Copies of this chain bind each other. A is one copy, B any other.
Amino acid sequence: MPSNRCIVLKERPRGIPEPHHFELVSQVLPRLSAGEMIVETLYLSIDAALRGWLNDEPNYSPPVGVGEVVRSLAVGRVVESRTAEFVPGDLVYGWFGWQTHCKSTVDRVLRRVDPEQAPVSAAAGVLGINGLTAWLALHEIGTPRRGETIVVSTAAGAVGSIVGQLAGHAGCRTVGLTGSREKVKLCVERFGYEAAVNYRACGSLDEAVTEHCPGGVDVFFDNAGGYVADVIVRRMNPFGRIIQCGTLATASWHPVVPQGPRIEREILARRLRVQGFVIFDHRQRFDEVAATLARLIRSGDLTYVEHIYKGLETAPQALADLYAGRNEGKVLVRIDRESG
């Protein structure tokens, strides 16, 4: 039985987690009981949602406890199994945490990974929650129609980079908002956006959006909230849809809720529909949608960029870089079997 190296929560963050909130420790893996298996992790998925899972604030799941392994999705390989469902060698995507090995039960697995669909790492990103979010939130809430204009925040991120392409396939004019010149380039050259705006250096964001969305905005796929959202909501067309998929722009919601311009009037007068999206409500559709996305990848109609860190110990820094917007595309940590 190999020993397990893992990263635990050392101190509960308030707001954005930083490297000093984490600690690397070693554990002996406990013996398996019936219904359990050992998964060795291959790629950890680094997600902005982690903030919500670590802070002790109301959220859709209880927070990780201090001293517990950091909650994380990952792609891994079953190395030992006392389950009826999985045998050693099976590839799986699920809640395996920031660790090299996970004693898991079947209910922690979100999807069985099919290496024929795409490279294994893709199962944690474009075929994992990010691509699934892009597809399901766009189509179920955004209901894009040919000729409509969609604006996407964090457009070069793991979700936004897929949304732009899918909305383009749906016949929409796609405008991405992102935070650097390099990412603007990536949005337009790789992710199929017709236009992209560096909201940090565009002068008036309102003017930039008006220029790029001359017919107004029909769908706003919002991963950020905050100031950028304040501008876009006031450029929405009647009956526009806003997908609230993330709140990356706001560092902390607790104990003082940040203030912003009220939007009740915008929602009413423009008859907007604003809806929150959490991917884990849609588990029963994961396999079907992943198969669709995999087909698009194979046909060359969907591209993705991975930003891969090496070694378990890099996970806290990978997360910090994600919050600082230093990533392009999906952030992953590859678990190196030699170094752990």
Contact = CB atoms under 8 A, between A and B. Distances in A.
A253 B265 contact: yes
A323 to B, nearest CB: 16
Contact of A244 (B222, B246, B247, B264): B264
Interface residues of A, number: 37
A262 B250 contact: yes
Which 4 pairs, one residue from A and one from B, show the smallest C-beta to C-beta distance?
Answer: A225-B264, A257-B261, A268-B276, A271-B276
B273 A58 contact: no
Given A259-B260, A261-B257, A272-B276, A244 B267 contact: yes
B260 A58 contact: no
25 contacts: A52-B269, A58-B269, A60-B269, A60-B270, A225-B265, A246-B268, A247-B265, A247-B268, A250-B262, A257-B261, A259-B260, A259-B261, A260-B260, A260-B262, A263-B263, A267-B274, A267-B276, A268-B276, A268-B277, A269-B276, A269-B278, A271-B275, A271-B276, A272-B275, A273-B273
Contacts of A263: 263
B229 A264 contact: yes
A247 B264 CA distance: 7
Contact of A258 (B261, B270, B274): B261
A246 B225 CA distance: 23
Interface string A207-246: 0000000000000001001100100000000100000111
A43 B160 CA distance: 53
Contacts of A250: 262, 264-265
A284 interface: no
Nearest to A258: B262
Interface in A142-176: none
A281 interface: yes
Contact of A276 (B59, B260, B270, B278): B270
Given A229-B264, A250-B265, 20 more contacts: A52-B269, A226-B264, A244-B264, A244-B268, A246-B268, A253-B262, A253-B265, A257-B261, A258-B261, A259-B259, A260-B262, A267-B275, A267-B276, A268-B276, A269-B276, A270-B276, A271-B275, A272-B274, A273-B273, A274-B275
